[in-house]
Structure 1
């Protein structure tokens, strides 16, 4: 029998769906402490030390207060992590809502690159996405911006969620792996270029991997003196163009199907009308 955690059995919730009364500072509470400062310190710690080392005690020490002082402002560590997720979403540069005349492709590219920049700046973030509902105002502003852009792509409404999933799941997956590379390099005290050089040198001369290196084009990193970051940037940009081209192709397919359906309907109606008219005239 599968064992399900108590948390998984609970009704999905979010700090953004729970009304919490305003905090009234007691006389023995630290002066100058507020929720914004707590969330900002949380983000700093997560960026510097990672998700695995984060704890309420560590956060309290960073703030110079007791852990109980932090709990005056949040009920749980989960709530604080969700607040941190929304705080960093505020770094995203969103298109102007009034820019309806802008090319949706350019805006989608911009949003995808912004999302990538966010995930790479905060490598703990991909691990939390999906674990929390993430209904914060900044996160929802990003979601709404992507929906507005996609609404102008010409795809049917039924296809919008699938198209956005294709783009942003790609960004998520790409950045999750790149973020792991960065985390490993940081732990080893090396650079991404040094790490990639070691990998290439380890497999380049091995007969088992010769065909793979040649077919995949990864050998270009060593042959052309390309930096690891440049290679990843190029791969990301090209893969994103494939996503956008796929959306355009699907839009044209949907339009063609709609035109055929309209044509079949008109043809059927005309045939019935002509047949009845001709039959009446002949009689």
Structure 2
């Protein structure tokens, strides 16, 4: 993302946030709990293990059988739907990670809990044996109070089966690709004015608007504003936007709903509208969204 407005002092660098889980459930994507790790994302991956278990797969395509191991681990991770996250390291491309973790042979699979490495196994195991080892890791996580769920990662559908993108969205899509989310929002808005029933343009406008707003937010400033006045609606909305683009949807929803609970009359409406916009960026079946809808109904009535 090269838009210069993302590089001003104090602003959130969305080029870094692109490594974080993005709001999922968009058309043309599917949810996954498998991510690739390199030197720039290893530390953040380790930090994730403070909330939920992470399984670190250190592998090499030069070793026979690793494709089967990778498929088994990915299948188990996606079937668990967030109970743990699979983080994959290509040791051929990133030998520094293997050296730092003192890996003697690949493939090696390591568990991460509360920032600590837990050796799981080396070599290639049968599917059922892998599942049993990971079950032990999950039991250890629960025993240590680590019971969070990993946010899903939106990954593109297979291009061979994905639907062809309508040419009407080209201008907006190109703006998104170059990181100009304000221009993308305007382009999607123009499509909506021409056809208010265009659900694809509506979703695109909401998502682009979210990233455009977040790109202008001073994260430290928002924290200070909330500390000074937790009922500052602007600060709450800014904080919620940041949480959303960083993959913390449940936190974003809780911030806004918490303020709605203490707000009356017309002051509630901007909060409610923003919350509904953020709802649109997630899959309707997402657990964070399902809970937030219930919480909103309670807060309003």
Q: Same fold (TM over 0.5)?
A: no
Task: Write 1 or 2 for the structure with the bigger share of helix.
Answer: 1
Which structure is larger by alpha-carbon Rg, 1 or 2?
A: 1
- Category of TM-score, reference length = shorter chain: under 0.3
Higher relative contact order (Cα pairs below 8 Å, separated by 6+ residues): 2
Question: TM-score with structure 2 length normalisation?
Answer: 0.20
Question: TM-score with structure 1 length normalisation?
Answer: 0.21
